Amino acid sequence: MAAIQSNTEFISRLKSLPLEHQHHLAKQFISSVIHLSDNSRLGQLVELLRKPDCSVEDIKNARSIAQSVYVSTSPGSDISEVKFDCQATHFIAQAVLACTASFDQGSSNQQVANKVANYCRMAQTCVGMSHGEDAPDFDKAEEAYNLIVQEQINIVNKFLGSM
């Protein structure tokens, strides 16, 4: 099987995978960005993300933690007060919610891995923005985005190569 070279191929390949493989990849995507958050509650998920299989109780606990972090890091109504690093935590929590939601919905293929990949990309983009300046540094954010896209493509290529 040819290696993924573009985001279009990335999306297509993820879409074709069974849900079990998508969950495996989604956990790897989250693992690759969880260090971007200093939220101790999300830190509790690190060991869970390393487990090859998660129990129903593990998934419930992860979802509960993620929901709590998601709500507490919401930008609220005044967008001018948004702190980009806080929003990275928000997107990581959203990635965990997307990953765990599929366990309750019972669908065979919901593009879970692609949703999680995109939330992780947003987290990396937020961290890539400069703080304390007059305006965000979008060049840094674009560079960070491109790096995480390539990292995710490499994760999927490695996974597919091991099958």
Residue 4 lies inside a defined structural domain of this protein: no
Instruction: Kindly state the greatest CA–CA separation across the chain.
Output: 48
Separation CA 161–CA 99 (nearest Å): 23
57 burial level (CB within 10 Å; 0-12, 13-18, 19+): exposed
Q: Is the pTM here over 0.85, yes or no? A: yes
Domain count, the chain: 1
Strands (E), the chain: none
Q: What is the pLDDT of residues 44-73, one digit of tens each?
A: 887 777 777 777 788 888 888 888 888 888
Compute the radius of gyration of the chain from its Cα atoms.
Answer: 16
Domain carrying residue 90: 18-73+82-161
* pLDDT > 70 in the chain, percent: 83
Q: What is the pLDDT of residues 10-24, one digit of tens each?
A: 999 999 999 889 989
Residue 10 lies inside a defined structural domain of this protein: no
Residue 6 lies inside a defined structural domain of this protein: no
Residue 145 lies inside a defined structural domain of this protein: yes
Residue 12 lies inside a defined structural domain of this protein: no
Residue 7 lies inside a defined structural domain of this protein: no
Q: What is the pLDDT of residues 78-100, one digit of tens each?
A: 555 556 667 888 999 999 999 88
Residue 8 lies inside a defined structural domain of this protein: no
Separation CA 90–CA 75 (nearest Å): 9
